[in-house]
Chain A
Amino acid sequence: MSYFVWGLIAVMIIAILLMLFRIQSLVSILRSSNEEVGTSNKVNGALMLIVPILGTIAGVWSFLEAKKHFLPEASSVHGKATDSLFWTTMTVITLMFVITNAVLFWFAYKYQYQKGRKVSFFHDNTRLEVFWTIVPAVIMAVLVFAGARVWSDTMMNEPKKGEAEIVEIMGKQFGWQVRYPGADKQLGKYNFRLIDDSAGNEFGIDFEDKNSEDDFVGTKMYIPVGKPVTLKIRARDVLHSVFLPHFRVKMDAVPGMPTHFSFTPTKTTVQMRQELGNNNFNYELACTEVCGKGHFAMRMIVEVVEQEEYEKWYAEQTPLLKDKPEFKGKGMGTLRKKNLAINENK
């Protein structure tokens, strides 16, 4: 019943709109016969001024409102450089945006049709063209230079061997897992053929490698403050991407092609909680490469702690092999033998 009523109302509204449209178009035919360019031109001209002005007000207001929800100051060394470059660039482009749009709409308003207006046949001016080729070129050059510096500081400034904490992070549908190298600070070898979820070797760790024996795994990331951390990033099924918004870190996780990203955290989780006055604050790690149904829920908590606390925690962790002694000595060699045996039996 209610559908019927709504349908009827919709039909009536449409009928009324159609009638208005018809009347409007007939009236405009009558009018336009004696007017070359109608009053609509003036209305549109006025809107060319009104809409951008209201838009600017809305833009400024909305920015001030939105600013409250932006991410807090970066919690990593390179992140601070990223942020300052970002806001400098934003200032430059906001200026460009405002000036060019203002001129565009001002001209549209100012030079709207007027009977008998003298139009200038201005179609070429090499000086002007050269001028506004060079100006953006110079601005771009400055930005490229600044960007290249921040980029190389971020990406090419690898910490020396032994200087950084190594954490391996592996993405899968749909979650993250971390592996730490254990007491020897050496991650053991792995191979995707050794992955066995049901047995509990989700990383495919090769336990024939001695370095694997003290590796421990987890679903929460602990990292120390004030020390470079190198994330060894990989994925085991489809593309994922490690995103640590508070640290301005992002790097894709690619099956078959390990990647890495080094950064230095500057604030512990506790410090952030105090600064933000939010006791529930946590650093979060998200996935930013679409990976299927659960893409939006690939969350891992990252806890940044003081150096001593980190070392204490690190020492307390149990190696995977201790929980799963059956893995001892098993790796690619064992697998090859097993496959060989299967083939021979065939």
Chain B
Amino acid sequence: MAELHHDNHGHTAEVHIDHHHDHEHDHHHEQSFISKYIFTEDHKTIGKQFLFMGLMWAFLGGAMSVIFRLQLGFPDLSLEFLRPIIGTWVNETGKLGQEPYLALVTMHGTIMVFFVLTAGLSGTFSNFLIPLQIGARDMASGFLNMLSFWFFFAASVIMFASLFLETGPASGGWVIYPPLSALPEAVPGSGAGMTFWLVSMTLFIASSLLGSINYITTVINLRTKGMSFSRLPLTIWAFFLTAIIGILSFPVLFAAALLLVFDRSFGTSFYLSEIYIGGKALHHVGGSAILYQHLFWFLGHPEVYIVLLPALGITSEIIATNARKPIFGYRAMVGSMIGIAVLSFIVWAHHMFVTGMNPFLGTVFMLLTLIIAVPSAVKAFNYITTLWRGNIIFTPAMLFSIGLVSVFISGGVTGIVLGNNALDIQLHDTYFVVAHFHIVMGSASFFGFMAGVYHWFPKMFGRMMDEKLGYVHFWCTFIGIYLVFFPMHYIGIAGFPRRYYSFSTFDAFKTFSDLNMFISAAAIFTFSAQALFAFNFVYSIFRGRLAPMNPWNSNTLEWTTKNPGHGNWVGEIPHVHRWAYDYNKPDADKDGFGDYIPQYVPLTETPNSNLEHEAELVKQEKKVAH
């Protein structure tokens, strides 16, 4: 019944041809291959470009972690078999070198945080979904949007190239703390590798800012008629707030990087002071290494939410759709996202409790940090309540969304421990931290990413992904993630510091070699399971089953168009008359609808199911009409 109705309305839109848009959206001329697929200004294609690039980086970043996990879990294993791939990073004794180990750890972090979970996740879905879900023909500036991708591409090329430098890529940890990152004498990766890192990240920041400014402008200005802020799907709210966070915090990282460039190349002393290295005292005095950390974490902490919020937004949408129930507490969801966005800017120094900063400041940052747990908890409770008394269909996207809620909670609660400065003294820079952020930030965002791909794949490629493979992929990944990261808490409680090449030097850290082996085995298993996804993804693009227009019976606007190409809708853009979560609305059947009422359906057509305030709206509309 719903499908039928859908057709009635979806197609009436095509009858009214909007003459204003005729000139801009005349598609009779053929676009060349280059302008259609490479230097494209169409947000959908740009979204896919981000997706492909992000997935490639995800594969590379994951593979790197497997290599260093081999070293940590199987320290006696000969890695000669990797020589064809990583060359001299395997030393004469057949082991991974110590400096290459640090390089791998650094690159894994940089790639995953920035290239996969920022560009790959937000880049893909903000681009693809914002115009489609708010009812816009494209982004506010297609050209800037194109630049955004190509800046990312350039950043990627440079970062990738740095892997092949003789002195290796940056290897001071993804946070690149100076003086280590400023002094090539300290670690070879701080030579050319660090220069490449800084250039690459500068381009990346430009890409991120171009993207963000576009997302914000588009959401504010290009919403279709009736799409008020209070009717925006939560995905859009999440992308919108993410973009605002990005635009306010990335420039600070740029400043931090710029000062580092000055220190490295032009002899300034912003971060350097009183250093004796390589047998001589350097001229730098008066700088502060801690200043860099403040600047870095002023981005670094909001960055956590830059990767997390889009995943949460995606999850909200998918959980509501597949539980066939409205999202619980829409306003609270928006409110807590705004709360998280604001608070994310004033908690950064919890990464620095033991840097020697004023202890009073430590107390202030602990207080602010633990406050952020409240909106996060509200979000988790609301997801759970959305499932309550729903009618859940387990699509692979839904599985990943439920998985996200689980890891979001599991990783979130350990944040309460680490945010407590008294406890952070012992746990700082141990595996407890590694476990915490890999679960709450890494896994949760990755799950959001996967959920998004499974859910919007039919929209992107017009075909369905194989569900069964998706199920197996989910369960392997979900179980694998817990097997990898849950035991890391134990290792952290036992005091094992992170970024250690080997645990054989210390008596205190010799225990748990079995557990480290187990973690490595689990990591290899989890990584291998991603092959299921890779196969499913590539295969389905070409051979998947053709997708119906609205495969998940969803309410949002992107499912009302048949992807006509640039411009999104043939004819007029649909108008919006209600929020995106009218699933299983009481009495909808009396209005001729099934278990969902899409956003474009006017309230006047659903007199039976309208709620009180909606009935009120209808009256007002009628008055205006008269």
Contact = CB atoms under 8 A, between A and B. Distances in A.
Contact of B362 (A133, A155, A290): A155
A123 interface: yes
Interface stretch (B228-236, B302-310, B408-416, B449-457): B408-416
B423 A85 contact: yes
Interface in A148-200: 148-152, 154-156, 173, 192-193, 195, 197-198
A31 to B, nearest CB: 11
A40 B381 contact: no
A238 B326 contact: no
A69 B495 CA distance: 10
Interface stretch (A86-94, A214-222, A309-317, A322-330): A86-94
B507 A281 contact: yes
Contact of B285 (A41, A148, A256): A256
A294 B490 contact: no
B495 A112 contact: no
A239 B499 CA distance: 14
A210 interface: no
A113 B417 CA distance: 38
Contacts of A86: 417, 423, 426
A137 B377 CA distance: 9
A63 B493 CA distance: 11
A121 B327 CA distance: 10
B460 interface: no
A255 interface: yes
A21 B422 contact: no
B276 A237 contact: yes
A233 B356 CA distance: 10
A252 B55 CA distance: 37
A171 to B, nearest CB: 12
B392 A108 contact: yes
A250 B378 contact: no
A289 B423 contact: no
A111 B499 contact: no
Interface stretch (B157-165, B203-211, B243-251, B286-294): B286-294
B179 A237 contact: yes
B468 A256 contact: no
Contacts of A108: 387, 392, 402
Contacts of A195: 276, 281
B581 interface: yes
B143 interface: no
Nearest to B328: A123
Interface in B231-277: 272-277
A227 interface: no
A40 B356 contact: no
Interface residues of A, number: 115
B475 interface: yes
B585 A121 contact: yes
Nearest to A114: B391
B388 interface: yes
A148 to B, nearest CB: 5
Nearest to A117: B391
B429 A45 contact: no
B102 interface: yes
Contacts of A51: 475, 478-479
B417 to A, nearest CB: 5
A261 B359 CA distance: 11
B183 A28 contact: no
Given A82-B425, A85-B422, A93-B413, A140 B371 contact: yes
A132 B377 contact: yes
A300 B545 CA distance: 63
A28 B380 contact: no
A155 B385 CA distance: 42
A122 interface: yes
Interface in B459-474: 466-469, 471
Given A254-B290, A286-B506, A292 B186 contact: yes
B577 interface: no
B423 A295 contact: no
A296 B502 contact: yes
Nearest to A134: B374
Contacts of A249: 425
Contact of B409 (A48, A104, A193, A289): A104
Contacts of B378: 129, 132-133, 136
A319 interface: no
A270 interface: no
Interface string B488-513: 00100111011111110111110110
B613 to A, nearest CB: 11
B506 A299 contact: yes
A108 B279 CA distance: 63
Given A101-B406, A255-B273, A295-B499, A151 B507 contact: no
A82 B187 contact: no
B325 interface: yes
A120 B428 contact: no
Contacts of A47: 475
B426 A41 contact: no
B389 interface: yes
B363 interface: yes
A63 B489 CA distance: 10
B490 A104 contact: no
Contacts of A254: 289-290, 355-356
Contacts of B523: none
B199 interface: no
A140 B374 contact: yes
A96 interface: yes
Contact of B595 (A119, A132, A198): A119
A101 B409 contact: yes
B426 A245 contact: yes
Contacts of B382: 129
A28 B468 contact: yes
A330 to B, nearest CB: 15
B391 A107 contact: no
A321 interface: no
A173 B426 CA distance: 23
B490 to A, nearest CB: 4
A24 B277 contact: no
A69 B494 contact: yes
Contact of B102 (A107, A287, A290): A290
A119 B490 contact: no
B123 interface: no
Residue of A89, A97, A239, A280 with most partner-chain B CB within 10 A: A239
B59 interface: no
Contacts of B503: 296
Contacts of B276: 192, 195, 204, 236-237
Given A71-B495, A121-B326, A197-B279, A147 B420 contact: yes
Nearest to A153: B422
Contacts of A296: 98, 497, 499-503, 505
Nearest to B100: A293
A128 B385 contact: yes
A166 to B, nearest CB: 17
A81 B378 CA distance: 31
Given A21-B466, A237-B276, A252-B355, A245 B180 contact: no
Given A152-B363, A241-B429, A251-B356, 7 more contacts: A45-B392, A66-B494, A119-B325, A147-B422, A252-B355, A252-B356, A289-B429
14 contacts: A62-B486, A79-B426, A101-B409, A104-B405, A105-B406, A107-B384, A111-B389, A132-B378, A136-B378, A140-B370, A152-B359, A195-B276, A237-B179, A238-B180
Q: Which 4 A-B pairs have the closest CB atoms?
A: A256-B273, A259-B356, A245-B495, A66-B490
Interface of A: 21, 24-25, 28-29, 37, 40-41, 43-45, 47-48, 51, 55, 59, 62-63, 66, 69-71, 79, 81-82, 85-86, 89-90, 92-94, 96-97, 100-101, 103-105, 107-108, 111-114, 117, 119-125, 128-129, 132-133, 136-137, 140, 143-144, 147-152, 154-156, 173, 192-193, 195, 197-198, 204, 233, 236-239, 241, 243, 245-246, 248-252, 254-257, 259-260, 280-282, 284, 286-297, 299
